[in-house]
Structure 1
């Protein structure tokens, strides 16, 4: 039975930490800001979808960012690594959907902002996403790497 390469395992952990360092503060910032300001963003959604180019660029950037995470983070060992990998897939799929079906995304965002209950659910979702970002940031910047 072949033994696991401790160097490869350590490199995978370091890569996961690097992604957590970048993704964590970004997701924490936007998750918390969206949770607080979501009702104020009604006009922003309309403005975004009013320009097809903006939606296309946003979708392309999201798809590219998700594919970078998917392509460079191939570690699925441990909860942090799984969460980073799933985040990459989530961003890539959202980017693809923005490019492929922008009217569906616009309708969903509009319906969410028009419904008080859906807005509360969305605010809770973004708050949870913000907390996840803080966990990523903590794990990336402060948690020690396990030795092999």
Structure 2
């Protein structure tokens, strides 16, 4: 499998995931305050979530080592982002919890978080398009 094919394969999976998850998250963010408190209260669950995120990020990092073109850079950065988030959940769960609580309690931070997740949803749609619908030979900038 060529680097271009691998990038498109990762984009096919990561794109819809990002698009769906971040859209739902942006819409439901204000209603998730109670859920976040319950999630962080369960230390074993946070450890497992962090381990899954770290493992998933490492799978992307190990399986996709291409940094040529915007699509490839986006896929690679996503892998590093997920792995870093997983590591932080394992190593510093209380710090992450404090940051999440501060965001949920601040109206300005809440708006900024919703805008951030909406922007990520657009990135997910671009990855989805590039992975599923673009023609490999006609889109050299997505190599």
* TM-score normalised by the chain length of structure 2: 0.94
Runs of 4+ in 1 over 4 A off after TM superposition: none
Match of 2:128 in 1: 137
Task: Report the Cα distance in structure 1 between the residues aligned to 2:81 and 2:89, rounded to whole angstroms.
Answer: 12
1:68 paired to 2:59: yes
Of 13, 18, 22, which aligns to 1:31? 22
1:79 paired to 2:58: no
**Structure 2 runs not aligned, ≥5 long:** none
* SS of aligned partner of 1:75: coil
State the Cα distance separating 1:83 from its structure 2 match.
0.6
* SS of aligned partner of 1:107: helix
Match of 2:8 in 1: 17
Of 57, 71, 84, which aligns to 2:48? 57
Task: Report the Cα distance in structure 1 between the residues aligned to 2:32 and 2:127, rounded to whole angstroms.
Answer: 26
**Number of paired residues?**
139
State the Cα distance separating 1:37 from its structure 2 match.
0.7
Match of 2:35 in 1: 44
* TM-score normalised by the chain length of structure 1: 0.91
Bigger Cα Rg: 1
Task: Report the Cα distance in structure 1 between the residues aligned to 2:16 and 2:49, rounded to whole angstroms.
Answer: 20
Superposition RMSD in Å? 1.2
